Amino acid sequence: MFCVNDEYEADHLVYQVKSSLSKSSGQIIVYGSSVDVYSCIRCIINCGVKGSRIVLARESLGSEEATCLNNPLVCAISSVLK
């Protein structure tokens, strides 16, 4: 499990993905509710992991709560990841 909150932790994640996670066959779960989630997913894909191995987990939001994760464009991008 990785919690990425700064540049050092992001570098550590990239190292781990390139050195071991890209060579394994299990799924990678990415959790969050901000645009940073999509940056993280893009980084993992750029490190050689197939998108079909990435699972996006996000918390349920109220119907009136607006975030980057409940607008139509982001929903379309999410459907491509499935």
In the structure, what pLDDT confidence band is assigned to residue 68 with cuts at 50, 70 and 90?
A: low
Rounded Cα gap, residues 74 and 51, in angstroms: 16
Residue 69 has pLDDT above 70, yes or no: no
For residue 71, the model assigns a pLDDT of: 67
Residue ranges of domains in the chain = 7-17+25-81
Given a contact cutoff of 8 angstroms between Cβ atoms, the answer to whether 60 and 38 are in contact is: no
Question: What number of CA atoms fall less than 13 Å from residue 32's CA on the CB side?
Answer: 14
DSSP string, 24-71: S-S-EEEE-SSHHHHHHHHHHHHTT--GGGEEEE-----TT---GGGS
Average pLDDT, the chain: 80
Report how far Cα 42 is from the mean position of its chain's Cα atoms: 7
Q: Per residue in 29-63, pLDDT tens?
A: 888 877 888 888 898 898 888 989 999 987 766 65
Looking at residues 62-73, what average pLDDT do you find?
62
